[in-house]
Copies of this chain bind each other. A is one copy, B any other.
Amino acid sequence: MKQEISAEIMTIGDELLYGQVIDTNSAWLGQELGKIGIRVKQITSISDNPDAICEALTQAMARAQVVLVTGGLGPTKDDLTKHTLTRYFKSELQLHQPSLEDVENIFRKYNRPMLEVNRQQAFLPACCTPVRNILGTAPGMLFQEQGTLVVSMPGVPFEMKRMMTDTVLPYLQQHFQLPQIIHKVVQTIGQGESFLAERIAAWEDNLPNNLKLAYLPHLAGVRLRLTGFSDGQHDLETQLQEQVHQLSILLPDNIFAYGEVTLEEAIGQLLKERNLTISTAESCTGGLVAHKLTSVPGSSAYFMGSVVAYSNEVKKAQLGVPAETLDKHGAVSEETVRAMAQGVRQRLHTHIGLATSGIAGPDGGTPEKPVGTIWIAYADAHQTIARQLSYNKTRQLNIEYTALQVLDLIRQSLRHPVDE
């Protein structure tokens, strides 16, 4: 039987306590530790204060085998973590030559003069194992005492993450007898957590004991994460692949990708594979659909452009929406959104045109068309599909959900090409 290893996270910095900075490091650490089979039992955020650091550390070390500490390693006077840990572990600072070279390299790279305070950052407690920081001037430190590992890292997220990935996570995997763990992520859209859970309940109940399913809902859908713990009897990879295959049969319409892929990346992949180009005509989404599509590297291969048509004048002049359509049905109507989708694909010479028109709020609603009344459309050479949405959220969320829905409309349309 493998060991059950538990960890605690300590984040140090007054800015966390005053709410000037949201602690995102802890959630990332919790996820990464979970992936290698280590469970986080407590997260503690404390001030840049030696007494508080020592008290929290003593308590954490009494509860966990691994304590990850972030923050308080900067060169300024209010960064006290290194000095506090040196005293806590009854050690003394000494120059660590490889760390000094790393610090010097950073200043050389940015062509800036190195200050004495930065040179001081290469002085580390004699009793620690230094952890290399190739992205910043504060090296990490690994301490071992009474069976507990304590790792101190900078609070700067990208420095801490690189250190974890390069050094700390591999070290933890080697140091402890951790169970083999493999994760498979399945990305879904179009149904909420509880409905999805109902549809796959029988499958989930029959999962082997060594496989666990997590529902991770977010704005754009629900990520399903299937985690396998090796039981020494089955080939874990094969076991997981078989279960993911069964899941794909149960949710044929909702799965848009496997692995860490966004909806806009999945759509970009579909468009590239089929050599299709796309354009958008946006009223209520105000450019957000275009922004999402173009946030994907290489999107210029399939995204040609967009007309954000907020005023009716722009809808007529730039998209060719007939004046009588606008007069008769209004800007927020099936007829207008269809004309917009068709208009943009014709004017911008793309295979596909998307359109949105709606009342995002908080103002602009009427009794017949209240705030949250939204129309979206998809047009290609063969068909135009329009759908009505209805939201009762904030302006920001109404816009965000509409953008996601129209992106999902492409995905669905490309899955089931209908020739008229």
Contact = CB atoms under 8 A, between A and B. Distances in A.
Q: Which of A20, A23, A299, A396 has the largest number of chain B CB atoms within 10 A?
A: A20
Q: Which of A39, A216, A286 has the largest number of chain B CB atoms within 10 A?
A: A286
Nearest to A314: B305
A318 B347 contact: yes
Interface in A4-35: 16-24, 26-32, 34
Interface stretch (A123-131, A162-170, A198-206, A288-296): A288-296
A304 interface: yes
Contact of A311 (B288, B305, B361): B305
A365 interface: no
Contacts of A298: 363
Nearest to A315: B305
B31 A27 contact: no
A268 interface: no
A306 B294 contact: no
A356 to B, nearest CB: 11
A226 interface: no
Contacts of A29: 19
Contact of A288 (B34, B287, B347): B287
Contacts of A246: none
Given A290-B287, A295-B399, A313-B349, A23 B20 contact: no
Q: Which of A29, A311, A396 has the largest number of chain B CB atoms within 10 A?
A: A311
Contact of A314 (B16, B41, B304): B304
Interface in A352-397: 361-364, 395-396
A405 interface: no
Interface string A262-278: 00000000000000000
A390 B244 CA distance: 45
Contacts of A307: 305-308, 318
Contacts of A406: none
A303 interface: yes
A311 B306 contact: no
B47 A41 contact: yes
A297 interface: yes
Contact of A44 (B43, B216, B294, B318): B43
B286 A288 contact: no
Contact of A308 (B31, B287, B361): B287
A59 interface: yes
Nearest to A40: B17
Given A22-B24, A286-B294, A305 B308 contact: yes
A190 to B, nearest CB: 21
A286 B297 contact: no
A310 B317 contact: no
A187 interface: no
Interface string A296-335: 0111100111111111011001100000000000000000
Contact of A22 (B22, B41, B349): B22
B17 A21 contact: no
B19 A317 contact: no
A52 interface: yes
Contacts of A207: none
A46 interface: yes
A56 to B, nearest CB: 8
Contacts of A309: 305
A408 interface: no
B31 A19 contact: yes
B306 A313 contact: no
Which 7 A-B pairs have CB atoms at the shortest separation, nearest pair first? A286-B294, A287-B287, A19-B30, A287-B290, A19-B31, A306-B308, A305-B314
9 contacts: A16-B30, A17-B41, A18-B34, A42-B45, A286-B290, A291-B399, A298-B363, A305-B318, A318-B318
Given A19-B31, A43-B46, 4 more contacts: A17-B40, A17-B43, A18-B30, A297-B395
